C-alpha cells in the first residue's frame, strides 16, 4: 500500500513506536543510513513491544542506495520547510513517505529536488514540529484513509 522511510533516525523510542505503528497498519518500515541506535537497542525493542517479528523491515546503508533501489516508487517527503499541508496532497498506492532525523530533518537538496512531492504538518502554535512518531502517525493514517485502506 504505502511504506514509511526514516532517514538517519536518532531516537530509539521513536523508531520503536513507528515500527509498532507499521505492524499495526501492515506497512513496510524502511530505515536509511546511519542510525542513532542499534537495532538490538533495549529502548527500541521496548517501544515496539513484542511486535518485531511481524515488522516488514528494509534497511539501506545510505540515501543514495535507497533512491537507487526504489527508483520505481514515488517518494513523498515530510518537512517543516514547505507549505503544502499533508491533507491537501494526493497520495498514491506504493508511495514511500520519507521522514528525516529528529534533529536535522531531511537534506536540503533532497527536498529541493522533490519540492512538488514534499508535505508538512502545519503548526499554528509555538513549536517548529511534532515528535517524529506522532508525525508519522498523522501522515500515515491520513494517506491510508485517502487510499480507502480502511
Please tell me the predicted confidence (pLDDT) of residue 46.
67
| H/E segment holding residue 147 | none
Residues 118 and 79: beta-carbon distance below 8 Å: yes
Residue with C-alpha cell 535507497?
Answer: 66
d(CA 13, CA 42): 9
Q: How far is CA 80 from CA 2, 43, 130, in A?
A: 21, 27, 10
Joined grid coordinates for residue 47: 517501544
Please tell me the predicted confidence (pLDDT) of residue 130.
94
With vertex at residue 21, the alpha carbon angle to CA 20 and CA 25, rounded to the nearest 5 degrees, is 120
DSSP 90: -
Length of the chain: 150
Spell out the domain ranges in the chain: 3-146
Please tell me the predicted confidence (pLDDT) of residue 132.
97
Q: Is 18 exposed, middle or buried (0-12, 13-18, 19+ CB in 10 A)?
A: buried
Other beta carbons less than 10 A from residue 126's beta carbon: 5
Joined grid coordinates for residue 106: 531531511
pTM of the full predicted structure?
0.94
List per-residue pLDDT tens for the chain, 150 residues long. Answer: 999 999 999 998 899 899 999 999 999 999 999 998 887 767 666 655 678 889 999 999 999 999 999 999 999 999 999 999 999 999 999 999 999 999 999 999 999 999 999 999 999 999 888 999 999 999 999 999 999 998
Architecture in CATH for domain 3-146: 3-Layer(aba) Sandwich (3.40)
Amino acid at each position: 500500500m504505502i511504506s514509511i522511510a526514516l532517514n538517519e533516525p536518532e531516537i530509539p523510542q521513536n523508531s520503536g513506536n513507528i515500527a509498532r505503528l507499521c505492524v499495526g497498519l501492515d506497512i513496510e518500515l524502511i530505515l536509511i543510513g546511519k542510525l542513532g541506535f542499534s537495532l538490538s537497542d533495549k529502548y527500541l525493542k521496548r517501544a515496539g513491544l513484542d511486535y518485531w517479528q511481524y515488522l516488514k523491515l528494509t534497511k539501506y546503508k545510505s540515501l543514495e542506495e535507497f533512491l537507487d533501489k526504489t527508483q520505481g516508487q514515488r517518494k513523498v517527503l515530510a518537512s517543516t520547510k514547505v507549505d503544502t499541508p499533508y491533507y491537501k496532497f494526493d497520495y498514491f498506492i506504493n508511495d514511500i513517505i520519507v521522514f528525516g532525523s529528529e534533529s536535522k530533518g531531511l537534506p536540503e537538496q533532497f527536498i529541493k529536488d522533490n519540492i512538488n512531492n514534499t508535505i508538512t504538518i502545519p503548526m499554528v502554535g509555538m513549536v517548529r514540529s511534532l515528535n517524529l512518531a506522532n508525525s508519522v502517525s498523522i501522515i500515515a493514517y491520513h494517506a491510508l484513509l485517502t487510499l480507502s485502506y480502511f
